[in-house]
Amino acid sequence: MLYRLILPHRSPTCRLLCYIVWIKNTLKGFLAGMAVMGALTFAVAQNRHPHIHAAVGALEAAQQELQEAAHDFCGHRAQALKDTNAALRQLRLAQQCAK
């Protein structure tokens, strides 16, 4: 086994503990690598359609601005909110289909 090559002069208990620590550290490295790969995959998926992603952000900002506005933009605020919600819904559906 590997621990015999690394620590031949140690007692069997010490070698076993060192081997367990080695496995634990190896597993930590593997899991950290998998987490990084998952994050990179998610980042790549988010950037496949950057204009759609940007449009969703812009529409969400406009929606919030319309909702918090003090006036009703000459009666156009309600329809603008409906159209903004519809556009956001369609863009999110498009993003789901692109996955």
In terms of DSSP H, where are the helices of the chain? 2-6, 12-46, 50-68, 77-98
57 and 94 share a domain? yes
Whole-number average pLDDT of the chain:
80
Domain region containing 36: 1-47
User: pLDDT band for position 2 (50/70/90)?
Assistant: low
pLDDT, residue 16, reads 74
Output DSSP code: residue 1: -
pLDDT digits (tens, 9 = 90+) for 14-40: 767 777 777 777 777 777 777 777 776
31 and 54 share a domain? no
pTM for the whole thing?
A: 0.53
Total structural domains in the chain? 2
1 and 28 share a domain? yes
pLDDT (mean) for 70-98? 91
Predicted confidence (pLDDT) at residue 83 exceeds the cutoff of 90: yes
33 and 63 share a domain? no
